[in-house]
Amino acid sequence: MLRHFILSLTLLFAISPFKSFAETYPIPLSLAQIDVLATLIWENEGAGKKEHLTVWNRNEDFPSMGIGHFIWYPTVKKGPYIEQFPALLDYITSNAVPVPKWLINAKTAPWKTREEFYREFNNEKLTQLRQLMQDTAALQAQFIIQRLEKGIPAILANSTKPQRVKINQSLDALKATPEGIFVLLDYINFKGEGTSDKEKYQGQGWGLKQVLLAMPEKTDNVLRSFALSADEMLTRRVKNAPRDELIWLKGWRVRIHHYPSLNITTSNIQ
């Protein structure tokens, strides 16, 4: 099955319109292949634990939900980071998955503070939400795939001609292996496209665009080069941040420096 996975990805990206930034490009994976991605993303974001499907990190103004820790703001006024959970919920319901009525009617996250969130952690709403997130892991992976499908053209459209040349060069190196494809999916979910002005400090972003641009032109280990580039961008973010974000950097580094040791084998789908 893994052999078919790698072959399908190789054929796909051989014809995939990375070079065109006016279109989306499809990633037609089988359900088994999507399960691989869902498992890896869940492990990266929440150690694969059910209780980590609903979290509210310290020093953050919002909870995060699902295998991808999708942001859900507790207020109508949104913060600087892109909110993804409402769109995920729409995607889940569009696939005819029944969800609790309270969740359908919730316009914002119903917990206004981190303290309130954890007081109610084992109550009905959060228990139901964790179960929904566990049951729809594959759909959440598909949602992230769709983000990448739209994200790469958006990144290219947001770039100058020389930048597009460099970005495509980095993409060509990454798309050659399933591990490189996973890195693209994981990082765009982790830190976004890098095209939003709201997701910049002192005019400098830390998203996928910035990481691809900072990669070296030649490398004998593309996953390690991506990880080092991501480390550089995230370190720059912390230095430019208007508040202290150093407490997060260690965890971010653990995540990205795991990329070079990725090995997608048949054990991932058994």
pLDDT values of the chain reduced to their tens digit, one per residue, 270 residues: 444 444 444 444 443 444 444 477 666 566 777 888 899 899 988 999 999 999 999 889 999 999 999 999 999 989 888 899 999 999 999 999 999 999 998 989 999 999 999 999 999 999 999 999 999 999 999 999 999 989 999 999 999 999 999 999 999 899 888 888 889 999 999 999 999 999 999 999 999 999 999 999 899 999 999 999 999 999 999 999 999 999 999 999 999 999 999 887 544 443
Q: Write down the pLDDT at residue 119.
A: 98
Q: Which amino acid is at 124?
A: E
Torsion of CA 213, 214, 217, 220, to 10 degrees: -130
d(CA 135, CA 249): 31
Q: Which amino acid is at 212?
A: L
DSSP for 146-190, please give it.
HHHHHHHHHHHHTS-HHHHHHHHHHHHHHTTSHHHHHHHHHHHHH
d(CA 54, CA 253): 22
d(CA 97, CA 262): 32
β strands within 48-108, DSSP E: 54-55, 64-65, 70-71
d(CA 91, CA 142): 9
Determine if residue 202 is left, alpha or beta; phi over 0 gives left, psi from -120 to 50 gives alpha, anything else beta: left
Q: Write down the pLDDT at residue 13.
A: 43
Whole-prediction pTM value?
Answer: 0.81
225: nearest Cα among 145, 178, 169: 169
Q: Write down the pLDDT at residue 172.
A: 86
β strands within 27-142, DSSP E: 54-55, 64-65, 70-71
Contact predicate 66/88, CB 8 Å: yes
Q: Write down the pLDDT at residue 209.
A: 98
